[in-house]
Amino acid sequence: MSYQKYFEDALIAGRNIIDITADTAIAVLHDLADAAVAQTDHLLAENQKDLDRMDQSDPKYDRLKLTAARIQDIAKEMRNVAELPNPLRHILSEKTMPNGLKISKVSVPLGVVGVIYEARPNVTFDVFALCFKTGNVCVLKGGSDAEYSNKAIIGIIHDVLKKHNIDTRVATLLPPEREATEALLNAIGYIDVLIPRGSQSLIDRVRQQSKVPVIETGAGIVHTYFDETGDLQKGAEIICNAKTRRVSVCNALDCLIIHSSRLNDLPEILKPLAAKGVEIYADERSHAVSDEHYPAHLLHQAEPEHFGTEFLSLKMAIKTVDSFAEALDHIAQYSSKHSEAIITEDAGNAAAFLNKVDAAAVYVNASTAFTDGAQFGLGAEIGISTQKLHARGPMGLQELTSYKWLVQGNGQTRA
């Protein structure tokens, strides 16, 4: 099958979408939010077809699952995006040169944005909302696991676009087969930037094989360090929230690092996790302290492979350290540079942690569950970038723009 027509249509749509006014974009996104809620029963029925094909023990099952409450949240995020300031056509800088040339730097869309993602149907809504608001065309390649859900969602999007007499090719859903992924990776001259969202294996494959520019949204191997001066009540609540709020997301906690002087507090820290059924993979010292307090069927000896693992489930590793510096070393060795946190009452350690930890989001005395576009006031996110070029952390509207130079003269020529 040839996918050339999809890409050619996206280019044509990209030339037209720039004429859509800010008011129209706002109206479309509000109408889409209303339509998503109105068609909740249809979306849940199509989503159930996908869920029926997946093992419930698969970590992707929770990401795949839509509920009425989640659809309400998706709609809320689209309305938030609609009302955020438009980042396009902003004059970032301007100057007049001695020769009279007026030079301006102005924000513009990236162009045609390709997104490859797995079993996350909410991404279909989020990507469209963010791209449409910023004048970008989106070419979507969802996984076969979410085929029915994604088709239902793109159908709703297209219905709303037709209502506003807008070219539906501004949002294209590619077929679910793997060949479509290969075509997207090689769509030189058609796709301006490619953003993968999903497992580390998917991200690695896209980064290694893509012939078009990639913004890497990495997996989340997330640590929280309970420092010597950490507050016990704060710590227990933060750690439980970071681990159990939603285990299948990239900001979920994977490894608790604890200072050896606070090991006697570990049973109290872990008590909320036991109630949630979290399996613990503890190093030798933390295992010895927890052995008589944590449910035996949930407590295991940690192996080397448990450190540096993104669990995406009710599982967590524990590492004991003897110093702040050792905690930083462990994070540096195993972090995916997504989200890292410290629980401390020591202002010096808090400041040093913020300064020295190399991650997209670094926290003091707060749950890493906040690494999210909506929670950062971005309305929604197209992904969480773990790289440093162009975008880092939750990618909202601003991160979906580039800029161009506008040069206005009156007959000037260069000697």
- Min mean pLDDT across 37-46, 246-255, 256-265 is at 246-255
Structure confidence at residue 231 (pLDDT)? 97
Residues 405-414 have pLDDT tens digits of 999 999 999 9
Structure confidence at residue 102 (pLDDT)? 97
Q: What is the pTM of this model?
A: 0.83
Residues 196-230 have pLDDT tens digits of 987 778 888 998 999 999 998 867 899 999 999 99
Write the DSSP assignment of 33-54 as a string of letters. HHHHHHTHHHHHHHHHHHHTTS
Over range 326-338, report the average pLDDT.
96
Structure confidence at residue 378 (pLDDT)? 79
Q: In the predicted model, what is the mean pLDDT of the chain? A: 94
Fold: same for 4-217+395-408 and 222-370: no
Which value, in Å, is the radius of gyration of the alpha carbons in the chain? 24
Structure confidence at residue 44 (pLDDT)? 98
Structure confidence at residue 53 (pLDDT)? 95
Percent of the residues in the chain that have a pLDDT greater than 70, as a whole number: 100
Does the pLDDT at position 1 exceed 70? no
The domains of the chain are located at 4-217+395-408, 222-370
Does the pLDDT at position 383 exceed 90? no
Inter-CA distances, 329 with 182, 187, 221, 343, Å: 39, 41, 15, 17
What six digits make up the tokens of 171?
């949002």
Over range 117-132, report the average pLDDT.
93
Does the pLDDT at position 109 exceed 90? yes
Among candidate residues 159, 174, 156, the one with its CA nearest the CA of residue 115 = 174
AA letter at 63: R
Over range 108-129, report the average pLDDT.
94
Distance, CA of 164 to CA of 159 (rounded, Å): 9
Structure confidence at residue 112 (pLDDT)? 97
Structure confidence at residue 220 (pLDDT)? 87
Residue scoring higher pLDDT (316 or 336): 316
User: Domain 4-217+395-408, what architecture?
Assistant: 3-Layer(aba) Sandwich (3.40)
Structure confidence at residue 395 (pLDDT)? 86
The dotted CATH code for 222-370 is 3.40.309.10
Residues 51-94 have pLDDT tens digits of 999 999 887 898 899 999 999 999 999 999 999 999 999 999 99
Q: Which residues contact 156 (CB under 8 A, 6 or more apart)?
A: 32, 35, 36, 39, 43
Does the pLDDT at position 380 exceed 80? no
AA letter at 197: R
Q: How many CB atoms lie within 10 A of CB 175?
A: 16
The stretches of 245-290 forming alpha helices (DSSP H) are 266-275, 284-290
pLDDT band of 344, cuts 50, 70, 90: very high
Residue scoring higher pLDDT (339 or 63): 339
pLDDT band of 104, cuts 50, 70, 90: very high
Structure confidence at residue 193 (pLDDT)? 95
Residues 143-193 have pLDDT tens digits of 999 999 999 999 999 999 999 999 999 999 999 999 999 999 999 999 999
214 secondary structure, DSSP code: B
AA letter at 333: Q
Distance, CA of 119 to CA of 144 (rounded, Å): 8
